[in-house]
Amino acid sequence: MELSKIGIIGGTGLENTDFLDFTDSLEFSNKNGKVSSKVSQGKIEEIEVFIISRHGTNHEFSPSNINYKANMMALKDLGCDAILALTACGSLQEKYKPGDFFFPDQFIDWTRNRKNTIFEGDNVVHTPMNEPFCEFLRLKLAKACNELCFDHHVGGKIITIEGPRFSSRAESQLFRSFGCDIINMTTSTECILANELEIPYQSIAMITDYDCWKDTEETVSMDAILEVMKENSLKAVALIKRTLEILNI
């Protein structure tokens, strides 16, 4: 896969895009409305990069209020060959611990109120979703993690809930019984739209907590998530940079 333009979506705790050598910062809107943030444009190695802060620059958009369609269509219109999407997530399994990276290969969509298709009205399209994430990108991310000695996990199931509330303990235990590995509030919606737009998409999930199923851990909170993301943001930046270097070889 030859890549010259990559879209990067920054998630909770990763709204800052200062790691990019900016050439421009664009206000962007399309027929679906306004993009969540300015689109930061620059280069890493020889790859042109476009970055959107999913929740807005100041985390002003809740998971249910993000204009996913505008965000994904903007990256399509900018000619992105692939999308790497950073996201905070909770772990539903003991072996996946806070601070680890997780690169899912399957999702379960547990959202209820999302506009999760580009095609509306009379233009109905049934998009295959058997392999929703990009194996090529997943393996490159794993290679970068190996080189950087970052704990990571390749393949597994992410469940996306509506939010913005966290799960009840009963829900968390139910999702574990499904065999889900991690949980968040945004990935399935983006992944569905990326597949409809025929853009290879891979989530870079950073585990921040054990949701609420594990009785020996503190209950998940936004403060705790932001603290873990703050501690690990430099790792996320290093992973992105090294992955793009590998893609450029």
Active site residues: 209, 211
Angle CA 205–208–211, to nearest 5: 105
Q: Are 64 and 114 in contact (CB under 8 A)?
A: yes
Contacts of 132 by beta carbon, 8 Å cutoff, 6+ apart: 105, 106, 107, 191, 192, 195, 201
What is the C-alpha to C-alpha distance for residues 179 and 188, in angstroms, rounded to an integer?
16
Q: Are 169 and 75 in contact (CB under 8 A)?
A: no
Closest CA to 10 of 43, 34, 39, 32: 39
Q: Could you give the C-alpha distances from 165 to 25, 63, 92, 186, 221, in angstroms and in order?
A: 32, 10, 17, 13, 10
